[in-house]
Amino acid sequence: MEELIEVRLTAEPNVCEQLAELWDDPEADFSVEKLTDSEKAVFSLFLKSENEASQAGTKLLDLAKLLTSDLSVERRIVKKEDWAEKWKENFHVSRVGKSLVIVPSWETYSPEPNDIILVNDPGMAFGTGSHGTSKACLEFLEELSLKHHPQSLLDAGTGTGILAVAAAKLGIPDIDAFDNEPQAVMAAKENAEKNNVAINVFQQDLFFYAPQKKYDIVIANILCAVLERNVERLMAAVAPGGNLILAGILDEQYPALSLLFTGLGAMEQRSTLIEGWRTGVFSIPKIARPIETVPQTEPEMEEAATWFSDKWHIPKSAYISSMKEPKDNYWYVIRDPETKKIIAGAGVIPNDFHMRPDLAPNVCALFVEEPFRKQGLAGALLNHIARDMQTKGCGTLYLATEHTSFYERYGWDFYTFVKESNSDHMTRLYRHVWKDER
């Protein structure tokens, strides 16, 4: 009986599951097994020779160390015949979203009305559809397709092509998909043929990708470390008014990554958490305008302070003083890409002139120039600021205002009335508590 070398990596279940999504070595089959006697799981590679096992083991360790430091690796000999059927035990028919059904080719399934069947075999490339990141991408893709009827899509890091295949079956006519591994490109092409859909699949490394056109939807289900180094490339691929789906991100990594994209003008719409992995959907305004944090240099502070002073008639010196105390004060501006002039801004300070110092910190001085209103800039600022403060350990913000309905649009709720510092006038105080959808 022929033998195989099993390289076993033990780690947290979400790490092993992500390795299953990312593994692309053509010389090895793999499996994921949750251990019943501990909170760990095992990601196993099955190889034919010591040389293959050594190379694959090194690659596995390098990849796993991007996800965790809590791991162990061992080897053992297994019978090939035992493995040939055992690996299939991890993959079965699964339903995702309202109508998508993933069916391995060796299983039979009787479709229900309105089912969209995705024939997909796991193996030499990631993207089985069983991992939380793939499920979330498929669910968001289905929602966006039904709501916006997109005409084009890019799947960056396609793996087996499961997302691109789903896009085609959801009716998106123009689909490009790429991966940096040739075996993944081959797997994606084969799965496209099995599903009788037309997808343009090609080999490409995201680090060297220069989009030749823009897409209504861009999906990137890749490791967070790769996403954060390719923010501008991914943003450049999305058509104005389009959407970006980001996945492959651990829950604790997501807030900081989100800020990188909203800082370039994307607007975070929602996110979902599945098995420790957070996937987010971002819309790209027709004119994307980056959000800047006012730096601690005199020219920028002078410019921003002058702008805020002109809008709110508070001495410029007060703004400059606040900007020079970054520990408790944060200021944000948006510029017109053409003129480079400030067109919107807001700040975060300990107290916005009211008698409730316990209700802090306060978002203040929100203003959008008249020609640029009703373009989503206020919402983009408020969302970006709330996310930025969350990364600084502050999940709750307050805002004093005379408005009665405006802030509700952006997740703020009326909280109480507060007395102003220098008068008996009572003003409305709103509260924003950051709650990621789960």
Alpha carbons 21 and 127: distance in angstroms, whole number: 5
| Ramachandran region, residue 282 (left: φ > 0; alpha: ψ -120 to 50; beta: rest) | beta
Q: Report pLDDT for 120.
A: 76
Alpha carbons 377 and 369: distance in angstroms, whole number: 10
**Encoded tokens for 259:** 């800020």
Distances 261 to 58, 84, 209, 240, 268 between C-alpha atoms, Å: 33, 43, 18, 14, 8
Alpha carbons 103 and 187: distance in angstroms, whole number: 16
Q: Report pLDDT for 126.
A: 44
Q: Residue 57 belongs to a domain with what CATH number? A: 3.30.70.920
Together in a domain, 123 and 77: no
Specify burial of residue 159 (Cβ count, 10 A radius: 0-12, 13-18, 19+).
Answer: buried
Q: Report pLDDT for 70.
A: 87
Whether residue 387 has pLDDT greater than 90: yes
Q: Residue 174 belongs to a domain with what CATH number? A: 3.40.50.150
| Residue after which a domain boundary falls, among 53, 74, 89 | 89
DSSP 109: -
Bridge partners for 152 per DSSP? 174
**Which of 293, 284, 274 lies closest to 387 in space, CA to CA?**
293
Confidence band, pLDDT 50/70/90 cuts, at residue 127: very low
- Asked whether residue 438 is domain-assigned, the answer is no
Together in a domain, 155 and 279: yes
What's the domain range around 360?
Answer: 291-433
Based on the structure, what is the number of domains in the chain? 3
Rounded to two decimals, the pTM is 0.79
Lowest mean pLDDT among 31-35, 132-136, 311-315: 31-35
